[in-house]
Amino acid sequence: MAKLGNPQETIAVLQKYGFHFQKKFGQNFLIDPRVLEKIIRAAGVTKEDFVLEIGPGIGTMTQYLAEAAREVTAVEIDRNLIPILEDTLREYDNVNVICDDILKVDIAALAREKNGGRPIKVVANLPYYITTPIIMGLFERQVPLDNVTVMVQKEVADRMQAGPGTKDYGALSLTVQYYAEAYVAAYVPPNCFIPRPGVGSAVIRLTRHKEPVVSCRDTGLMFRLIRASFNQRRKTLANSLCNAPELSFSKEEIQKAIEALGLSPSVRGEALALEQFAALADILAS
């Protein structure tokens, strides 16, 4: 089997199997070797690593991963792709394909079984509508993770790595940055895929923090504050928090807490850094 990752080989495989793209699975296959190499480099995959690939498609990135990693497990939801993957990956004895919905896979158990519970690397080029739940699920479910290197919609990558005071900064930036350091490794135009997606894409690497970057007694409350602050972006922080149905603090309690942080009463949520949200949660919790 020739190496995939260019238009000719990809089209040949698709024709050989009479494959029809399924929109509901967000199938856009990579056809640019430079992008594939960038993803492997960004993830820092070495022969020591066990890698979980989510959504291998016809196995293009899987081939690159198999060459770079010790072992790869690829989870693909579309059963029509399984015979294709058996063909395109038959020369690699370090790849295992599972046909399932990644949202139903016990990834922590997989990490225990395949990597003795040590941190794993996750690489994925996913349908954009499930990328955020998958990434958040990985971090929130305490899967042992080294990094997650994933192709996302360009705007999502920009939001994930944005800092306070910028237009892209919001609840997604803070949630991702609580768990990981975000680094955009490449911007990828639509012509690097078959079929071409309607939006630009980016490869983002999220390296899990080894130690929490902020300490907070009640992280649940901190995340509720963060969500409430950005639900009504144009309002002041005090008003957003007062109006939030998921919070039950009085206006006075909120104003006092904001004052105790040394912030202006008219400050907006978008001006606060993660440490300030953590401190606000600590003050309100006490």
Q: Does 30 bind ligand SAM (CB under 6 A)?
A: yes
Q: Using only C-alpha atoms, what is the Rg of the chain?
A: 21
Q: Does 60 bind ligand SAM (CB under 6 A)?
A: yes
Closest CA to 55 of 124, 110, 3: 124
Q: Does 27 bind ligand SAM (CB under 6 A)?
A: yes
Q: Which single residue brings its beta carbon nearest to ligand SAM?
A: 55
Residues from 163 through 222 that contact ligand SAM (CB under 6 A): none
Q: Does 17 bind ligand SAM (CB under 6 A)?
A: no
Which x/- pattern over 68-87 shows residues binding ligand SAM (rule: CB under 6 A)? Answer: -------xxxx--x------
Q: Please enumerate in sequence order all residues whose Cβ is within 8 A of that of 180, keeping only pairs 6 or more positions apart, or say none.
A: 139, 147, 148, 206, 207, 208, 209
d(CA 18, CA 3): 19
Residues from 96 through 125 that contact ligand SAM (CB under 6 A): 101-103, 125
Residue 150 vs 258, nearer CB to ligand SAM:
150
- DSSP β-bridge partners for residue 145: 120
Residue 130 vs 174, nearer CB to ligand SAM:
130
Q: Does 57 bind ligand SAM (CB under 6 A)?
A: yes
Residue 54 vs 272, nearer CB to ligand SAM:
54
Closest CA to 263 of 246, 243, 283, 234: 283
**Cβ pair 61, 36 in contact under 8 A:** yes
Q: Does 88 bind ligand SAM (CB under 6 A)?
A: no
Tally of CB atoms within 10 A around 275: 12
Residue 186 vs 257, nearer CB to ligand SAM:
186
Residue 130 vs 278, nearer CB to ligand SAM:
130
Distance of CA 39 to the CA centre of its chain: 14
Three-state DSSP class for residue 54: strand
**Cβ pair 35, 188 in contact under 8 A:** yes
Residue 186 vs 258, nearer CB to ligand SAM:
186
Out of 13, 40, 42, 56, the residue judged to bind ligand SAM by CB under 6 A = 56
Q: Is 284 left (phi over 0), alpha (psi -120 to 50) or beta?
A: alpha
Out of 40, 43, 52, 61, the residue judged to bind ligand SAM by CB under 6 A = 61
Q: Which residues bind ligand SAM (CB under 6 A)?
A: 25-30, 54-57, 60-61, 75-78, 81, 101-103, 125-127, 130
